[in-house]
């Protein structure tokens, strides 16, 4: 064997050892590239064949049935306080937001001229009473004089019959009696006239006192001043609105329900009232009354809900959402509302069993904002798909992902 052949064999041996060492290194330290590639591909294929979903467990719990409507709150009582006389506002005693009691002074009109009229009427009344008293005295005096004159006339007539006095004397006494009777009638007429005058002046004084009292604008009931439309020094006319007064507790919500829904509501049914601008602000209430008639223009029935003493935000005019409780169920199967799929007017949910989705038709019951009652089709403890249903079919492979 020559040197050239030896060198060739040595080169082939070295190449073989290098290739063998490379594959040995891949086998024991890195692994087979073919097998690693096959594992990754299988894993990706398996993930591609499954649908990622979010699951939730069906539970047992209570749920209620509500009729929901909206309304604007109104006060128990709210009225315009108007002036019952004309005048100029001389003083203001309240501002908007003030709490007042029945009879409290709200404002006063200038009553100077009325008080002058009152004083003059009282003076005329005192004078009329004095004149009435004088007329009464004259009547009494006339009565005494007439009595005495009648007695004298009887004596003179008796004496005349016996011829002791002349007929002229008897005639003079008779004439004096007639004059006294005339004076008595005149005095009696004056007394009646002054009595009538006193009654007129009494009525006039009562009228002035009434006008003076009307110059004091007072609260017809206890409540809050919700609006003031009058200014100091303003000239007001009869029946001008000056203030708005309201009783802010309790508050009421008038909701209008469909005639069929209203039939399931009765007085004293519980209700929940929440602010339209903040659904977390909620107070309780109760159905106070139900209108006995149906509005022919809308086909609805007015239901009045009385609120419990409310907190901040609940004011007359506030827009609210009203839920009237019509029924309660204690232990029913509940699932998240977002798990329900509607198809062809039927309801379905997907159940996760052993990483497989099973489509089940369900019968729904009462619903809340987040949950729905399952009357049939799902049992408590089963896992329902709440996210990812759009990519599912019955029997599809699934894998659960955390929410």
User: How confident is the model over 33-46, as a mean pLDDT?
Assistant: 51
Element (H, E) at 250: strand 241-258
pLDDT at 28: 47
Between 229 and 178, residue with greater pLDDT = 229
- Rounded to 5 degrees, what are φ and ψ at 175? -65, -45
Confirm if 71 and 394 have CB atoms less than 8 A apart: no
Q: How far apart are the first and last CA of the chain?
A: 77
% of the chain exceeding 90 in pLDDT: 51
Between 32 and 296, residue with greater pLDDT = 296
- Evaluate if residue 34 carries a pLDDT over 50: no
Q: Which of 313, 217, 226, 299 is nearest to 263 (CA)?
A: 299
For residue 337, what are the contacts with CB-CB under 8 A and spacing of at least 6? 367, 368, 369, 370, 371, 372
In the structure, what pLDDT confidence band is assigned to residue 31 with cuts at 50, 70 and 90? very low
For residue 13, what are the contacts with CB-CB under 8 A and spacing of at least 6? none
- Evaluate if residue 29 carries a pLDDT over 60: no
Tell me the average pLDDT of the chain.
86
DSSP state of 308: P
Between 131 and 11, residue with greater pLDDT = 131
Q: Which of 338, 390, 328 is nearest to 365 (CA)?
A: 328
User: How confident is the model over 360-366, as a mean pLDDT?
Assistant: 91
- Evaluate if residue 1 carries a pLDDT over 80: no
DSSP code per residue over 76-132: EEEEEEE-SS-EEEEEE---TT-EE-TT-EEEEE--HHHHHHHHHHHHHHHHHHHHH
Can you give the pTM of this predicted structure? Answer: 0.59
Q: What is the C-alpha to C-alpha distance for residues 305 and 297, in angstroms, rounded to an integer?
A: 22
In the structure, what pLDDT confidence band is assigned to residue 106 with cuts at 50, 70 and 90? very high
In the structure, what pLDDT confidence band is assigned to residue 219 with cuts at 50, 70 and 90? very high
Let me know how many helices (H) and strands (E) the chain has, helices first.
5, 19
User: How confident is the model over 45-67, as a mean pLDDT?
Assistant: 83
User: How confident is the model over 76-101, as a mean pLDDT?
Assistant: 94
Q: What is the C-alpha to C-alpha distance for residues 303 and 305, in angstroms, rounded to an integer?
A: 6
Q: Which of 367, 365, 269 is nearest to 322 (CA)?
A: 269
For residue 365, what are the contacts with CB-CB under 8 A and spacing of at least 6? 63, 329, 332, 372, 373, 374, 375
User: How confident is the model over 369-377, as a mean pLDDT?
Assistant: 90
pLDDT at 33: 46
- Rounded to 5 degrees, what are φ and ψ at 109? -95, 155
- Evaluate if residue 103 carries a pLDDT over 80: yes
Where b means 16+ CB within 10 Å and e means fewer, 356-381 reads: ebbbbebebbbbeeebbbbeebbeee
Q: For residue 236, what are its two tokens?
A: 């007001």
Confirm if 64 and 329 have CB atoms less than 8 A apart: yes
Long-range CB contacts (within 8 A, 24+) of 292-301: 294/259, 295/256, 298/256, 299/258, 299/259, 300/256, 300/257, 300/258, 300/259, 300/262, 301/256, 301/257, 301/258, 301/259, 301/262
Least confident of 41-45, 277-281, 289-293: 41-45
Side-chain-side CA neighbours of residue 335 (13 Å): 32
- Evaluate if residue 46 carries a pLDDT over 90: no
């Amino acid at each position: 064997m020559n040197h050239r052949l030896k060198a060739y064999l040595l080169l082939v041996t070295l190449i073989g050892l290098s290739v063998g060492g490379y594959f040995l290194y891949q086998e024991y330290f890195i692994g087979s590239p073919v097998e690693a590639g096959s594992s990754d591909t299988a894993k990706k294929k398996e993930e591609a064949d499954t649908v990622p979903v979010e699951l939730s467990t069906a539970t047992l719990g209570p749920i209620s049935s509500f009729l929901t409507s909206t309304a604007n709150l109104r006060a128990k009582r709210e009225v315009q306080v108007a002036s019952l006389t004309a005048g100029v506002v001389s003083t203001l005693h309240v501002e908007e937001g003030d709490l007042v009691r029945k009879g409290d002074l709200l404002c006063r009109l200038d009553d100077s001229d009325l008080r002058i009229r009152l004083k003059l009427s009282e003076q005329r009344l005192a004078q009329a009473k004095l004149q009435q008293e004088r007329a009464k005295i004259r009547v009494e005096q006339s009565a005494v004089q007439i009595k005495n004159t009648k007695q004298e006339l009887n004596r003179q007539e008796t004496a005349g019959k016996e011829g002791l006095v002349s007929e002229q004397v008897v005639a003079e006494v008779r004439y004096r009696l007639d004059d006294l009777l005339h004076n008595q009638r005149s005095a009696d007429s004056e007394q009646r006239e002054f009595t009538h005058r006193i009654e007129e002046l009494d009525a006039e004084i009562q009228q002035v006192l009434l006008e003076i009292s009307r110059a004091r604008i007072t609260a017809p009931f206890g409540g809050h001043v919700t609006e003031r439309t009058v200014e100091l020094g303003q000239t007001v006319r009869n029946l001008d609105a000056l203030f708005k007064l309201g009783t802010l507790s309790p508050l009421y919500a008038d909701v209008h329900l469909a005639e069929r829904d209203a039939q399931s509501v009765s007085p004293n049914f519980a209700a929940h009232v929440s602010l339209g601008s903040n659904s977390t602000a909620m107070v309780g209430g109760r159905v106070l009354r139900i209108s006995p008639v149906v509005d022919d223009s809308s086909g609805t029935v007015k239901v009045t809900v009385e609120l419990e003493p409310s907190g901040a935000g609940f004011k007359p005019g506030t827009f609210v959402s009203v839920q009237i409780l019509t029924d309660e169920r204690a232990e029913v199967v509940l699932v998240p509302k977002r798990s329900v799929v509607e198809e062809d007017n039927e309801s379905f949910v997907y159940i996760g069993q052993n990483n497989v989705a099973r489509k089940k038709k369900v019968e729904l019951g009462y619903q809340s904002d987040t949950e729905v009652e399952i009357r049939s089709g799902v049992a408590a403890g089963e896992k329902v798909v709440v996210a990812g249903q759009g990519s599912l079919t019955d029997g599809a492979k699934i894998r659960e992902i955390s929410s």
